[in-house]
Structure 1
Amino acid sequence: MARPSGSNADVTGPRVREAAERLFARHGYAAVSMRQIAGEVGIGAGALYHYTPDKQTLLFEMMRAHLDGLLGAWAEAPKGGGPLSRLDAFARFHIRYHLDRPDAVFIAYMELRSLEPANFAAIEALRKRYEAVPEAILREGAAAGDMVVPDPKLAAMALIAMLTGINTWYREGGRLDRASVETTYADMARGMVGARSPK
């Protein structure tokens, strides 16, 4: 199917995804229509289908892109040596990455219920890959005697929930700057496993 006259797939395609992300985060996936997305981009509703087959595909692709980006960024992030250093690195990384993407983070957690079964399974697999990162750190730390972690899987989920919660309250220009928040959360992560903060 030919694209609308004057359009550029490399420009309009990303604009469609960005508009959908804003609208899904603001109103919820179920409340947003394809016509609203097209209007946000400034194209006709029929033209939208040149860039995506349907709304479900838009949701799935933006969630997959978010998680692929998250996993890729962690793979490239400096991690330090032992498990305590890696726990500190993970906490700081998670805060930095998520603070810059509040809409994507909100959708990734709140719209899982909106995914069709096959799409849910694919996204859940990516989420589990990321959740395995802190779990492995905590298991190693417990085995080394550096951490007190009776249930590493549960502790990993609690850690991720604590770190991700920053997006519900942090605002630029508030009482705390990003560096202070990052350090405080890293200290709390260590405290969760009975490890002292570095001097």
Structure 2
Amino acid sequence: MARGRAAGYDDQREQILQQAAALFARQGYAATSMNEVAQACGLSKPAIYHYFRDKYALLFEICNTHLTRLLALEQAAKQSALQTPGVDAEQSLRQLIASFVEEYALSAHAHRVLTESVRYLQGDDLQQVLNKERALVAGFSATLAQIRPDLDEAGLSKAISMLLFGMMNWMFTWLRSDGALDQEAMAQLVADLFLGGIGEVKTPSLKAEKKLAQI
């Protein structure tokens, strides 16, 4: 009879992924060793290999898991919109933006690894990650097409959705966690700017303006 996994296996595996993501985000994937991952987890190097065959496997799992969570958020938002009377496409897109910005904050290390280290993936692994990224863009494009069908007909919905991801994806490079604007406020700003242009952006408080000036 095959021996089952020990109790706590999944929790330990998740801890390893979190520690590896933090190291990859802080030091870079190429500059991080499996010894450092093991030390951060309080485990021996052979113990790490019990969960992941090598550093590359860690990278793929971090990227793939992060994207899987984002796809689940996208599907959940769409289901919620379908089940909630009166929710139009613009409200649905605003909810999507808020959900993604929040997830980016909660999974900041994994998100940074995805954006900065995906280039190290190869072959089928890279293709799987790219397919999930394309599925995310397609989901946003479909919602945008409901708001502006003419943009979809002109073949612009995907390009405009990519611009939206550009605003959200790289926020981590400049947004300070101790600043006056939190993730919820930033999601609102992104949605206002994307859907209404600069004229629809609400003026932040004076405190927030001073914080922004320090960025």
TM > 0.5 = yes
Where do 1:53-132 residues align within 5 Å?
53-77=53-77, 78-79=80-81, 81-132=87-138
Identity %: 26
What is the RMSD computed on CA atoms of the aligned residues? 2.9
Residue number in structure 2 paired with 1:141: 147
Q: Counterparts of 1:139 and 1:187 in 2: how far apart (Å)?
A: 17
Q: Check the 8 A contact 2:98/2:184 in 1, yes or no.
A: no
Shift of 1:81: 3.1
Q: Give per-residue Cα distances to partners, 1:79-120, cap 9 Å, x unaligned.
A: 463322222222222222212221111111111111022110
Q: Residues 135 and 153 of structure 1 are in contact (CA less than 8 Å); yes or no, is this contact kept in structure 2?
A: yes
Q: Secondary structure at the match of 1:187?
A: helix
Change in CA separation of 1:7 and 1:83 when aligned onto 2, cut-off 3 Å: closer
Say which is worse superposed, 85-94 or 116-125, in terms of deviation. Answer: 85-94
Q: Please tell me the residue identity of whatever aligns with 1:185.
A: V
CA–CA distance in 1 between the matches of 2:150 and 2:90? Answer: 10
CA offset at residue 10 of structure 1?
3.3
Counterpart of 2:181?
Answer: 176
Structure 1 length as normaliser, TM-score? 0.84
Aligned length: 192
Distance 1:151 1:162, change over 3 A: same
Shift of the 11–95 alpha-carbon distance from structure 1 to 2, 3 Å rule, reads closer
- Give the Cα separation in 2 of the matches to 1:114 and 1:12: 25
How far residue 8 of structure 1 moved from its aligned partner, in angstroms, is: 4.7
2:204 corresponds in structure 1 to none
1:110-156 C-alpha deviation (Å, 9 max, x unpaired): 111110221100101111111111111222222279x9x87111111
Q: Secondary structure at the match of 1:124?
A: helix
Give me the whole-angstrom Cα distance separating, in 2, the residues matched to 1:30 and 1:177: 31
Gaps of 5+ in 2: 202-215
Matched residue, 2:167: 162
Residue 20 to residue 45, structure 1, CA distance change in 2 (3 Å)? same
Q: Which amino acid letter does the alignment assign opposite residue 119 of structure 1?
A: D
Shift of 1:185: 1.4
Structure 2 Cα separation of the partners of residues 67 and 143 of structure 1: 27
Taking the aligned partners of 1:184 and 1:150, their CA distance within structure 2 comes to 26
Q: Taking structure 1 as reference, are residues 39 and 142 closer, same or farther at Cα in structure 2, changes over 3 Å only?
A: same
For residues 94 and 53 of structure 1, the distance between their equivalents in structure 2, rounded to whole angstroms, comes to 31
Distance in 2 (CA, whole Å) between partners of 1:153 and 1:8 is 42
For 2:10, give the aligned amino acid.
Answer: D
